[in-house]
Every structure is written in structure tokens, then in C-alpha cells.
Amino acid sequence: MKRKRSWLFALMIILAMLLSACGGETAPETINTTVALDPGSSATHNPGSPNLSYAVAEDIDAAFNSFIDNMVDYNAINPAGLNEMLTEEPPPFLLDVRSINEVEANGHIEGAVVIPLLELGKNLDLLPSFDTTIVAYCGSGWRCTIAMTALGPLGWNSTLVLKEGSYQGWAEAGNPVALGLPETIALHAASPDPAMTAVINKLLSSIPEDWGFVTANAIIQEINRDPNLIMIDVRSEDEVKTTGLIEGAIHIPLEDFIDRKSDWPLDKDATIVIYSGYGHRSTIAMTILMTYGYSDVRSLGG
């Protein structure tokens, strides 16, 4: 009798489990077996960093390596060089990444499309095809360098930046400018990878109000206050041999920046200042680190 009751009890438990599974009122929890890995790490995912799969992380590595390898003179041109390019057929696509207020107050280069830097990732449909040369500019040459670096992994590898004062230098040299806001037309000429687009959107939304710019005087004071401040020198080996290195700085030439990820700080929240000769290369490196989830990184201007 005991054996019969035990058998009936077990049968009731089994039936209850089957009814619960088939009832459909509460869906079972979905287990995500995709291993997420932050691209700046070799082992674990950092919750404060982009939620990237191994594949996306590898894609970003490859994209930035391609971007760096294909740069000529770090993709910087001056107003005279832009004037010459504008006489060619077809002319380059001009991208103005200043704010709307700046453009309305100071004008723009004729033919440019205005997309403020913070809105760039959400307006990629306004950009030309991947194989079209883009010349980006801003007020002084800082924001357009961030824009160029952000567009690189998305597929726009032929993006140049206007330096030597950027728009201000262009206007002060007496080059023609147009007033008002130019018309913008959606081109839908390129289709960047959605996962990469999400990463770049996250990068652009995390850029601080000062665009990551810091002066030498401010850093000197900060070094005295914060002994844990990390400095990274992205100049070439020859430059370091000729002019020396700031004491304690980590030397990672920009050309090797991705391949030497193991030399990057492990703490993604560490305070980091990157420097180069004048600030252009360090701003490229700063933007790259921000893409990989570093939250407190700046570039030394000048």
C-alpha cells in the first residue's frame, strides 16, 4: 500500500510539472549564451563598457588598424590644400561638425553639410558613399579630429581634417564663406554595420563638454594633486629619442596603438591624459580609447 501511494504521489508531481511547462502564462527565462567582452579586455566583460561580443570587438580592432594604417600625414590638410582639392572633380564632401549656433553666427564653407559632432552618429544617412573623400572641419580642428576617428571604423576611411585653425583659419585667410545654414539632404549612400554604429553612437554621447581638451598648465597642477594620473605618449620612437619623454609616461606610438592594447590601463575609469607633438595624434588616440569604454581620458592640446 505504501509503495502504491508513493507511486501515485510521484505521478502527481510529474503531471504538475508538465502542466506548469505547458500553461504558457509565465515564459521561461531566456539564457543568453553569447559571451560579451569589452574590446579593451582579454578576459572579462566590464559592466561600464560597451556590451560587445567577441566578433564586434575583433571588428573594431581590425577597423581601427585599417584606419591607422591608411592614414597619410595623419589625414590632416591645411586651408591651401583644401582650396586645391575643391578645384578637383569630383570635389570632396565637406562636413561641418560645429554647433548650429556657431554656423549661424560665423557662416560655413560653401557646399558643406552641417552635422554637429554629438549628432553625427544619428545622421549617417546624410553622409556620402564610403569611397567618397570627406573633409571634416570645426572651429579650431579638435572636434573634426574626433569625427574623423569615429567615422573610420564605420567604413569612411577616406576622411581628412582641416587643420591650421580649421574653419577659423579658413576664414581668416580670406577664403570665401557662406552665411546661414546650408540645406541638408538624406543621401542613404552607405550602410555601416548596425553593431558598429551602436558603438560609435555610445562614444559620441560620452564626449565631455570640453571635448576632452586639456592644457599643459592644468595637467601640471593635476600631476601634483593626483599621483595616479596616467599619461600616454603616442609620438614616434624617433621623436621620443630626440626630445625625451614625460617622466612616468607610457610610450605607445599611434601606429601601434591597437596592437599594443595589452599596454593600455586595465582600469577603464582611470584618469588618463594622452599627448603627442601638437594634439592631433593624441586626440585620435583619445577617441579610440573612448570607443573602447574608457570614461576619463583627455588629450593634451598643443
> Which domains, from first to last, does the chain contain?
70-205 (3.40.250.10), 213-300 (3.40.250.10)
> Which range among 54-68, 111-125, 204-218 shows the weakest confidence by mean pLDDT?
54-68
Collect all residues with Cβ–Cβ distance below 8 Å to 298 and sequence separation of at least 6: 212, 213, 214, 272, 273, 274, 286
% of the chain exceeding 90 in pLDDT: 73
Q: Rounded distance, CA 229 to CA 281, Å?
A: 20
Whether the predicted pLDDT of 63 surpasses 50: yes
- The cell for 14 is 510529474
Beta strands in 50-117 (DSSP E): 76-77, 93-96, 113-114
Q: Are strands 213-214 and 230-233 parallel, antiparallel or unpaired?
A: unpaired
CA distance 165 to 140: 5
Asked if 37 and 45 touch (Cβ cutoff 8 Å), the reply is: yes
Is the model's pLDDT at 34 over the cut of 50? no
User: Among 68, 138, 106, which residue's Cα sits nearest to residue 60?
Assistant: 68
Q: Using a pLDDT cut of 70, give the percent of the chain over it.
A: 81
Average pLDDT of the chain, as a whole number: 84
Of the candidates 123, 118, 121, 147, the residue with the CA atom closest to the CA atom of residue 134: 147
How far is the CA of 285 from the CAs of 68, 174, 242, 300, in angstroms? 10, 32, 22, 11
Alpha carbon distances (Å) from 204 to 62, 139, 169: 20, 18, 25
**pLDDT at 39 > cutoff 70:** no
B/e letters for 75-95, b = 16+ CB within 10 Å, e = fewer, are bbbbbebbeeeeeeeeebbbb
